[in-house]
Chain A
């Protein structure tokens, strides 16, 4: 085990997603089976005892790759020297809360955490925001951590991307590992646009377009889209709890592909700082198709966008612009 350990921060670590993700990280799912890790877990004061319970379990599991655990309610200690930051902690929407209330709470959290990360994390820290509203929390984080390169601040839409792959694989009765290059455009919300126009299935002979194989545009343009958009709610309805397992797993995929690179001929979806590509306003955290190499993502350029898709891309951008204004109004 020659590699130096990598420090990985998980905020909201005493919660459901935290509990699912930390054993995945400790087993090398996030960074590879030869990469030792040190986990930094941050929780709020009321969760301190539960957080310590998670630390105890991590010790009890005797993970060979896990070289240390820092469990703390202190943001500075949590952020110190971390190379990767998974921001799972946030204020959940409770019954009776208005959108503005949720936004207001989360904007203050992400403003404060931005500051701690900027001051104490490793200078090239890679940040993944999971807590909703993910795109806007990431944007706030970016605005208040100007020293962190904007390309290092992302949000999770890999869950939606993986959900889209899963829906296609079920529809076509193929293995999900043979489906690729769906795209999630935009906001990790119900305005996201799951786009299969460039997606393919690897059959025994070749790669075939999903749209051709499904041969049901009606389904692809309506039911498929709404199923993926509303999958989070469907999981809550079935489990009475939100999707921790799949969110944690997808967060590992997001980081792994970012750090270790995407396979040749394959792209993934990540919420990244928009640069004007595909006519999307600059200055949003927007989900795009990206490839990753040498620890950097780059937006896949030149994909054809038909009229139907154009409408969808613009609608989700519009929602993100509104969220951005709402967030800024909460800060004043």
Chain B
């Protein structure tokens, strides 16, 4: 085990997603089977005892790759020296809360965490925001951590991307590992646009277009899209709890592909700082198709966008513009 350990921060670590995520990280799923890790776990003081329970279990599991655990309610200690930050902590929406209330709470959290990360994380720290509203929390984080390169601040839409792959695989009765290159455009919300226009399936006779194989545009343009958009709610309805397992797993995929690179011929979806590509207004955290190499993501350029898709891209961009305005109004 010659590699130096990588320090990985998980905020909100005493919660459901944290509990699913930390054993995945400790087993090398996020950074590879040969990369030792040190976990930094942050949560709020009311969760301190539960957080310590998670630390105890990590010690109890005797993970060979896990070289240390820092479990703390102190954001400075949590952020010190971290190479990767997975921001799961946030204020959940409770019954009776207005969107503005949730936004206000989360905007303050992400503003202060931005500051701590900027001051104490390792240079070139890669940040993944999971807590909702993910895109806007990431945007706030970016705004208040100006010395963190904007390319290092992302949000999770890999869950939606994986959900889309899953839906296509079920529809076509193929292995999910044979489906690729769906795209999630925009906001990790119900305005996201799951796009299969460039998605393919590996068949014995080569790679074929998903749209062609499904041969049901009504489904692809209607039910498929709303199933993926609303999958989070469907999981809550079935489990009475939100999707921790799949969110944690997808967060590992997001980081792994970012750090270790995407396979040749394959792209993934990541919420990244928009640069005007595909006529999406710059200055938003917007989910795009990206490839990754040498630890950097790059938006896949030149994909054709039909009229149906154009409207969807515009709608989700518009929602993100509104969220941005709402967030800024909460800060003033």
Contacts and interface: CB of A to CB of B under 8 A. Distances in A.
A234 B239 contact: no
A20 interface: yes
B62 A176 contact: yes
Interface stretch (A102-110, A116-124, A240-248): A240-248
Contacts of A61: 162, 166, 245-246, 249-250
A250 B238 contact: no
Nearest to B161: A62
Contacts of A29: 27
Nearest to B33: A33
B310 to A, nearest CB: 27
Contacts of B170: 59
B306 interface: no
B177 A235 contact: no
Interface in A7-59: 19-20, 22-24, 27, 29, 33, 49-50, 52-54, 56-59
Majority-rule SS of B interface residues: helix
A248 to B, nearest CB: 7
Interface string A129-147: 0000000000000000000
Contact of A23 (B22, B58, B240, B245): B245
B239 A63 contact: no
Interface residues of B, number: 50
B243 to A, nearest CB: 6
B234 to A, nearest CB: 7
A42 B56 CA distance: 29
Contact of A60 (B23, B50, B56, B231): B231
Interface string A247-259: 0111001000000
A39 to B, nearest CB: 12
Which among B1, B54, B67, B166 has the greatest number of chain A C-beta atoms within 10 A? B166
B52 to A, nearest CB: 5
Interface in B59-76: 59-64, 66-67
Contact of B249 (A20, A63, A159, A234): A63
A62 B63 contact: no
21 contacts: A22-B245, A23-B249, A24-B24, A27-B24, A27-B29, A61-B245, A62-B162, A62-B253, A67-B175, A162-B61, A170-B59, A176-B63, A177-B64, A231-B60, A234-B56, A235-B53, A237-B53, A238-B50, A239-B57, A245-B23, A245-B58
Given A27-B27, A56-B231, 19 more contacts: A23-B248, A49-B239, A57-B245, A61-B162, A63-B176, A162-B62, A176-B59, A231-B56, A234-B56, A239-B49, A239-B50, A239-B53, A239-B54, A240-B50, A245-B19, A245-B54, A249-B23, A249-B27, A250-B61
* In the complex, the 5 A-B pairs of residues with the closest C-beta atoms, listed nearest first: A53-B238, A238-B53, A239-B53, A53-B239, A162-B62
Interface of B: 1, 19-20, 22-24, 27, 29, 33, 49-50, 52-54, 56-64, 66-67, 159, 162-163, 165-166, 169-170, 175-177, 231, 234-235, 237-240, 243-246, 248-250, 253
